Structure 1
Amino acid sequence: MVQRITGMASGMDIDSLVKAMLTGQQSKVDKLTQKKQTVEWQRQAYLDMNTKINDFRNNKVYNFKLEGTLAASKVGISGNQDAVSAKATGDAVAGNLVVKVKSLATAASMNSSSDVTVDPTKSLASQFSSFGSATTGSIKINGKEVTFDPTKDSLNTVISKINKETNVTAFFDGKKLSLMSKQTGLVNGTGTGDKIVVESGTLATELKLDGTSFKAAANAEVYINDLLTSQQSNSFRINGVDITLKTVSPSTDPARPDNPSVYTASTITISRDTDKIMESIKSFITDYNDMLKTLQDKADESRYRDFAPLTSEQKEAMKEKEIEQWEEKAMSGLLKNDSVLSTLISDMRLAVTSKVDNGSKYNTLSAIGITSSSYYDNGKLNVSDEKKLKKALEEDPQAVLDLFTANGTGKTDRSDMGIAERIYADAQKAMDQIKKKTGYSSILLDETVLGKQMQLLSKQITAGTSRLSDLETRYYKQFSAMEKAIQQYNQQSTSLAGYFS
């Protein structure tokens, strides 16, 4: 290291002189550092936009395409409203279902045939001598074997295993063990049995599970449009309608249980929920407009080129609020007129204005009362005619559904692809392009477009800093040599003056 002499002989401010001489080289390094900071900010701006596009695509557009969003149905029950309840899914078929409940589905159960003397907290082997010195044991219920260690495991432990590993629920009331199927209907044993099957074994014997105390399961029997059906559960789906049986339908002649005409009917009516569908479409339009504005605001954001990232020295001379205000302008407009954002804006506008070949007159948004705003409003959508939209939903709900969500057949012009499907694909394309530019981080020196740019700038900064250090060392050496020369001259001058005096 060069010994730095600060002008003791010459009286000069060497540090200030060296700093001034390095200004040109320091300025080059500062500009490279500022450029790297700008690229880092730009990457972060891309990543922030990518997050917003991803949220729009996967949480807004995708949800809009889900079953039931544009095929929402409503259900009404007339007649006997106590016997059943119903809820429509997105696949519900409009029409009527006449339901008459002959019997409900029940679950099988089995209990100990007599009292059992056992402490459920102590090991099984310590209470049942029949286990002997065995360290393994098992009990098989409905074909599922549950293993345990009788020298360590208690009845409570075995019950916990039964509840986790089999299709029955077990509990001990202090005297008897009770088993009940987790599902109603014929699901026991081989899967079609009406009784819980416990195979013989040491524990089964000790717990008195001999099969003599049981209740058989039964499937529900229900007439649907006077057709007798058997249902394993009291909840099932017919024609896209989830039906739950709550009680047996009243009968005018209990002596004739096999005659559907004697039961009081519950009539389930399924119809299109036009109001709910309209609200979903309005919500989609709001999400679309919000995303369009976000993209446009970022692509049109003002760029202040006179506000470069601040150097360390500049920050030291400024207040915190001044730094914040400066950097706000320095980070503004980094994606101004960006091609990825501009393309997505254009694609979204084209997606909502182009016709969809759905075989109906309702093949454009304008045909169902949705229009684009004026040019000055940057193409936002609005429901300009609610009556027109409601009429389209009532006359041809499938066409409206296809207008938004048709998958298409792969045509290059996407003419048979629904609007939401187009935007869903366009958003993914934009995210893929951003990923190629930025990757997943704003600071990694990776192989993305901006990552490579930062790699190059980092190398240039390192080289520039090295040159700056070499120049500084050289200048201090030169000034050091000058100081030594002056010091020697002064010493010689003093010596000569001594001779003459």
Structure 2
Amino acid sequence: MSSSVSGTSSSVTRTYGLSGSGIDVDSMVEKLMTAARQPYTKMGQKQTILGWKKEAYNTLATSIDTFRNQKVFNFQMKSTLAAKSVTSSNSSVASVTATGDAVNVNHSIKVTQLASGVTQSSTAKITTGNSKSTLASQFGVSGSFGVTINGKSITVNSSQSINDLVSSINKADAGVTATYDATQDRFFLYTNATGSSAAIDFSGSSQQGLNFITNNLKLSAVSNITNAGVSSAGTVGFSDTAALAGQFSGLAGSFTLKVSVGTAVANIQVDTTKTSLNDIVTQINNIKDSSGNQAVSAGLDANGNFSIKALTSTPVSLAGSDPAAISFLQNQLKLGSVDASTPITETGVVSSETVGFNQKAMLSSTLGWPSTFTLNVSDGTTTKALTIDATSTTMESFLSQINSLTGADGKQMAVASFEHGKFTLKSYSGDKQLDLSGSDSGALSFMTNALKLVNQSGQDAQAVLDGVAITQSTNKFTVANVTYNLLGTGSSTVSIANDVDKIISSVKTFIDDYNTLLSSVNTKVSEDYDSDYQPLTDDQKKAMSDEDISAWTTKAKTGLLHNDSILKPMAESMRSAFTASVSGLTGKYTSAASIGIATGVDWTENGKLYVDEDTLRSALEEDPDVVYKIFGTTGTNTNENGIAVRLSNILKDASSKIVDQAGASTATTLTNDTTSVLGKQNKELTTNMTTLNKKLVAQENQYYSQFNAMEEALSKLSQQTSYLSSLLGNS
């Protein structure tokens, strides 16, 4: 039988038993050490109590922080304390919600168009081969080629499968999602957003890529063109509506162009990063003579030349313009003869070379398109083919040929235009759509790459709200704290009013949560501590049942936070936060009690609150913002603060003190907490226990050494006695 201290065995070589004395040395040493170990055991119990206190603190801290962050925070906001009810005369047009900051008025909304994205799907089954393992076996394509979707390049390799292609598209960040349905054998593309900026644009794709899109995936490169039309995704050549710095290389900075006709003056402020040529032209053309007629004409013609001329006998003067403005006219707009001192007459001045897009020049020179292609334009009933030779066709002629196409009914099929550096194609008839997908690959490439024609664009939501036209990219938007979720076209009247029932419900829930926290704190603070119930030692537990151990431990943990110096003041401050009036408020409602929130008559409930719904409802009917004023008002001091603001400060201060006392709740044990009060106490106990344990081991070793010495002495005595006995026996 051996004995040890804190798991450390004695280092003494034990020789007892040699004498045959029959003394139970282990039992005697154990009894001697039991008394010596009492200070060590008590230190261990103190460590256990420190851990229990930390656990109790952290449990309350979690409740405090949850109540403060999730409940008190919301009760400082008007959106919580001034809830609104919304009714709509036509719920099929829009579902509407309002925050507490919304004004109680009626709104009228008329929805003429919903926002939408773009969906493209194969027009028929797409697999032509006997296997779908690779694009080569599924479609008969070979090699690698490029496909561009919304400006993002995707490499298509014939050794990939169609599912690999789907993955590549979805990883390209092109603003679209691709899917392939094997059952339907169709390929789908969807825009991730809605609105006019959402598009499926294949411009930039190689000719082989466009062939793959149209012939293999059977997606329309350009289709479903309504009378709303589709336009170039970017500038084709020169755009007079884009910022000057982006259209004229090397142009930067700002300048003032002063244009005057007699007493009429236009001081045109030009920021080259924001101002367009069209902005300048508009301001020049707005100059009026004394009779109110246009006095100056400026702009680009179909040849791409820029001109300025007087429309009356009074010349146009540029006197007072910045040198940079004159330089812009001379060098960028190619008006070499223009200066600040020379007037411009009715003869006018014209640029010496092309400035904008020359619609009278051949497509091969303006767009660098050298080939001939066949463009098929279909309205669903009639298909017309145009053979275009880019080396002998101008933009002006190209537009004319499209606009001269007629359908089976003899009416114009399409409307083509080229303005501000963008090509636009529309269906002439509102009930028909155009499709160019029957065109050859050269035509599709010309339309998508040269003219940058967007395959399809989404549309913005369009509505008239309270008489004001609005355009939104999504069907959900917020105006004046009222959120509209558009559901269909039509008209609706929306009424905003206070939702008294919801406010009362919110107050009752808040008070219930407050009472729960206060009760938890009061329970811990009022519990009595019984020092007779200390943490059980291992030896004590061995002699007890599990049920008895649990009951004992529960009792031992009770009262550890009795009259706690953090929790008790916090509970008192919480009660005071509700009883004190909010200074600065006037009228009959200045405190919680005035709106029906007060403690009961039983003082033993320690501040439990009750809500008188009738009083609260009456107060809300007289002043819809009364709850917000009493709870959410922010002042310069505690007296001026609303109840929720006060509570937030009280709970924050208590939570901080608990962290100082017991550490953060994330520190699960005191072992890794060396900064809190309890953590430091635990560290000190650990140090003292280590020191004491060394002394106890030494003391135990000393006892064993003494008993060993006694045994050795008794053994020698026994030997001597035996020897003497043998001598006497022999005599």
TM-score bracket, shorter-length normalisation: 0.7 to 0.9
2:590 maps to 1:382: no
Question: CA distance change for structure 1 residues 178 and 467 in 2, over 3 Å: closer, same or farther?
Answer: closer
Contact 2:77 2:628 in 1 (8 A): no
Alpha-carbon displacement from aligned partner over 1:260-317 (angstroms, at most 9, x marks no partner): xxxxx42111111000100100110111111111000001112010111122222222
Q: Identity across aligned pairs (percent)? A: 34
Give the aligned residue type for 1:437.
Q
Matched, 1:304 2:312: no
Q: Secondary structure at the match of 2:625?
A: helix
- Please name the residue that 2:473 is paired with: 232
- Residues of 1 paired with 2:552 and 2:75: CA distance? 41
Match of 2:113 in 1: 103
CA contact (8 A) 1:77 1:267 kept: yes
> Tell me, what secondary structure is at the counterpart of 2:478?
strand
Mapped pair 1:27 → 2:251: no
SS in 2 for 1:58: helix
2:254 paired with 1:243? no
Q: Which moved more, 1:299-308 or 1:60-69?
A: 60-69
Aligned to 2:560: 334
Query: By how many angstroms is 1:210 displaced?
Result: 6.6
Partner of 1:3: 14
| Structure 2 counterparts to residues 180-191 of structure 1, below 5 A | 180-188=190-198
Q: 1:138 to 1:356 in 2, by over 3 A?
A: farther
Task: Report deviation, 1:116.
Answer: 5.8
1:6–1:15 Cα contact (<8 Å) kept: no
1:446 aligns to 2:673 (yes or no): yes
Higher helix fraction: Structure 1 or Structure 2? Answer: 1
Is structure 2 residue 470 aligned with structure 1 residue 463? no
Tell me which amino acid in the other structure corresponds to 2:643: I
Q: 2: distance between equivalents of 1:23 and 1:421?
A: 57
2:51 to 40, 54, 77: 40
8 Å Cα contact 1:295-1:345 kept in structure 2: yes
Q: Secondary structure at the match of 1:207?
A: helix
> Take 1:426 and 1:147, find their aligned partners in 2: how far apart are those partners?
59
- The 5-angstrom pairing of residues 51-450 of structure 1 reads 51-65=62-76, 68-78=79-89, 80-109=90-119, 121-124=132-135, 132=143, 134=144, 138-143=146-151, 145-148=152-155, 150-163=157-170, 165-171=173-179, 177-188=187-198, 196=201, 198-201=203-206, 202-208=208-214, 211-215=221-225, 216-249=457-490, 265-357=491-583, 359-361=585-587, 362-374=589-601, 375-384=603-612, 386-406=613-633, 408=634, 411=636, 413-439=637-663, 440-447=667-674, 448-450=676-678
Q: Find the residue that maps to 1:68 and give its secondary structure.
A: helix
**Structure 1: which 5+ residue stretches go unaligned?**
190-194, 250-264
Listed one character per residue, the Cα deviations across residues 116-140 of structure 1 (whole Å, up to 9, x for unaligned) are 66669444466778763x4xx5433
Residue 73 of structure 1: how far off its partner (Å): 0.9
Map residues 458-497 of structure 1 onto 2, 5 A cutoff: 458-497=686-725
CA distance in 1, matches of 2:728, 2:657: 86
2: CA distance, partners of 1:296 / 1:147? 66
* Structure 1 residue 358: Cα displacement: 5.5
CA distance in 1, matches of 2:33, 2:677: 33
Corresponding residue SS for 1:382 = strand
Q: Which has the larger radius of gyration?
A: 2
Conserved? CA contact 2:210–2:221, under 8 Å: no
Rounded Cα–Cα distance in structure 1 between residues aligned with 2:567 and 2:548: 31
Deviations 1:315-367 (A, max 9, x none): 22222222222222211111111111112112211222222246443321012
CA, structure 1 residues 161+10, in 2 after alignment: closer, same or farther (shift >3 Å)?
same
Partners in 2 of 1:161 and 1:417 — Cα distance?
57
Where does structure 2 lack aligned partners over 5 or more consecutive residues? 1-11, 226-456
Q: TM-score, normalization: structure 2?
A: 0.60
Q: Quickly say closer, same or farther: Cα 1:49–1:125, change in 2 above 3 A.
A: same
Provide the alpha-carbon RMSD of the alignment. 2.8
Q: Which amino acid aligns with 1:401?
A: Y
Aligned pairs, how many? 472
1:176 is displaced (CA, Å) by: 6.7
Shift of the alpha carbon at 1:110?
5.0
When residues 306 and 123 of structure 1 are mapped into structure 2, their CA distance, relative to the original with a 3 A threshold, is: same
- For the residues of structure 2 that align with 1:358 and 1:196, how far apart are their CA atoms? 61
Deviations 1:202-240 (A, max 9, x none): 423321267431345332332222333223333322322
CA distance in 2, matches of 1:148, 1:403: 64
Tell me what 1:261 maps to.
none
User: Residues 118 and 289 of structure 1: is their aligned pair in 2 closer, same or farther, counting only changes over 3 Å?
Assistant: same
Question: Contact conserved, 1:121 with 1:156, CA < 8 A, in 2?
Answer: no
Q: Secondary structure at the match of 1:415?
A: helix
